[in-house]
Amino acid sequence: MQLYELLLIAIGLSMDAFAVSIGKGLTMKRVRLRDAALIGLWFGGFQCLMPLIGAFLGSRFITRIQAVDHWVAFGILAAVGANMIREAFAEDKEIKEESPAKKEKGADLRVGTMFLLAVATSIDALAVGITLGLLRVRIVSAAVFIGCVTFCFSFGGVYAGRLVGTRFRKGASIAGGVVLILIGTKILLEHTGILA
């Protein structure tokens, strides 16, 4: 496999994480380098880990996972997206009661939330790991490369989301939630064969 082919695969796999990172940036009042790097590490780390797991488990076991992976991804992304929309509408009501410290809280970067998002956006990389293994690609090098590309897209996505969200905070949060739901729906439709 040529480097440009692997780059195209890596970019394709990173698009869901990129979109979610934009959504995270939308909800931040102030983007800190540490937060953007943390989001990049979560998404990049899982995009690196999933192909390794896919290659290790092999095609027989993955076939069973593929029967439900799209439902898992859809459920997680739809739930997180719906929560973002709910919080955007609740924000106007709560803003008068918030302390200055609470107002600076920004995006939800808790381990549980980030873990679910990272898994949901990297499930497709399991199947890619099987494919790369069958093609006898050096799976560790390929996985690290995919993870690095995803890190860069996710890191940049946080800042892109922040630029959009500066003036349109509430609308941007709603849009971010809708994007997550649409990504989950796209994954579901692609895996069920409705969307080619």
pLDDT of residue 78: 82
Q: Tell me, what's the pLDDT at 48?
A: 96
Q: pLDDT at position 96, please?
A: 46
Q: Of the candidates 16, 33, 31, which has an alpha carbon nearest to the alpha carbon of residue 81? A: 16
Q: Which residues of 151-160 are buried (b: 16+ CB within 10 A; e: fewer)?
A: bbbbbbbbeb
Mean pLDDT, each 10-residue run in order, the chain (196 residues): 83 87 85 93 96 80 69 78 77 50 60 91 82 80 95 94 71 73 82 78
- For residue 3 the two structure tokens come to 């480097």
Please tell me the predicted confidence (pLDDT) of residue 95: 46
